[in-house]
């Protein structure tokens, strides 16, 4: 792209993703590139002095917005953040925003999974509907914000199966499949995942707000 005032290329839009997870950065970067968006995407590691934001919201969208706004204000650049978890129908949508710390210890996947299965031990197959939900937020330094969401519908197995993925992947079986998310290949999972859907829904938002 040429600038209107000369022959020098216009600077690429700098966009920050509020994560230190290289996989998330690679996934969103590929989606933006596939959409033809000339955006320079970096992760939070590019700004090591900025502290992590406490997720005090009561919804995925609120937590995503908290992180995106904090990063945009601290850096002066547009920022994207996401928040996600497992929502079980018979539990009224829980674990929800508490998915990563359902057992009381943040990030203990095995304990979280064991507790959830124990809570659902007597629940029959026809009442084990659940879905992964992801909210992705884009915030600009001037306070402008947008939120999009993506879901992966499925049912919960009684026992874990598969060694891929993380979190509750070994027990969620996507609708229309006979395997759990942990039994899918990375490419298969990315194609249907809640985060992939949310990131792809960000494309028109990025195009609208960042050009």
Output the known binding site for Mg(2+): 83
Q: For the packed helices 22-34 and 194-210, what is the interaxial angle rounded to 10 degrees?
A: 60
Residues forming the annotated binding site for substrate?
Answer: 19-24, 84, 166-169, 189, 194-195
State the catalytic residue, choosing from 49, 52, 83, 122. Answer: 83
Closest of 37, 44, 43 to residue 13, by C-alpha: 37
**Dihedral sign computed on CA atoms, order 204, 139, 59, 121:** positive
Q: Report residue 142 as tokens.
A: 């001037």
Alpha-carbon gap, residue 143 to 6, rounded angstroms? 31
**Dihedral sign computed on CA atoms, order 94, 84, 192, 179:** negative
Q: Are 199 and 32 a contacting pair, CB within 8 Å?
A: no
What ranges in the chain are assigned the alpha helix state H? Answer: 22-34, 60-75, 109-119, 186-192, 194-210
Closest of 199, 144, 209 to residue 33, by C-alpha: 199
Whether 89 sits among the annotated catalytic residues: the reply is: no
Residues forming the annotated binding site?
Answer: 19-24, 83-84, 166-169, 189, 194-195
Active site amino acids: 83
């Amino acid at each position: 792209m040429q600038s209107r005032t000369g022959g020098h290329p216009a600077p690429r839009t700098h966009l920050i993703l509020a994560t230190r997870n290289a996989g998330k950065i690679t996934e969103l970067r590929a989606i933006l590139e596939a959409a033809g968006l000339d955006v320079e995407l970096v992760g939070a590691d590019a700004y090591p002095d900025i502290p992590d934001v406490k997720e005090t919201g009561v919804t995925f969208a609120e937590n995503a917005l908290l992180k995106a706004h904090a990063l945009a204000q601290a850096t002066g650049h547009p920022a994207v953040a996401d928040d996600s978890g497992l929502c079980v129908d018979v539990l009224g949508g829980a674990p929800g925003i508490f998915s990563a710390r359902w057992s009381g210890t943040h990030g203990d996947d095995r304990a979280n999974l064991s507790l959830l299965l124990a809570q659902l031990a007597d629940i029959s197959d026809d009442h084990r509907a659940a879905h992964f939900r992801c909210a992705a937020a884009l915030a600009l330094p001037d306070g402008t914000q947008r939120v999009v969401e993506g879901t992966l519908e499925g049912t919960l197995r009684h026992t874990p199966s598969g060694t891929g993925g993380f979190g509750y992947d070994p027990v969620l079986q996507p609708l229309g499949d006979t395997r759990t998310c942990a039994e899918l290949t990375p490419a298969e999972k990315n194609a249907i995942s809640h985060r992939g859907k949310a990131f792809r829904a960000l494309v028109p938002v990025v195009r609208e707000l960042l050009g």
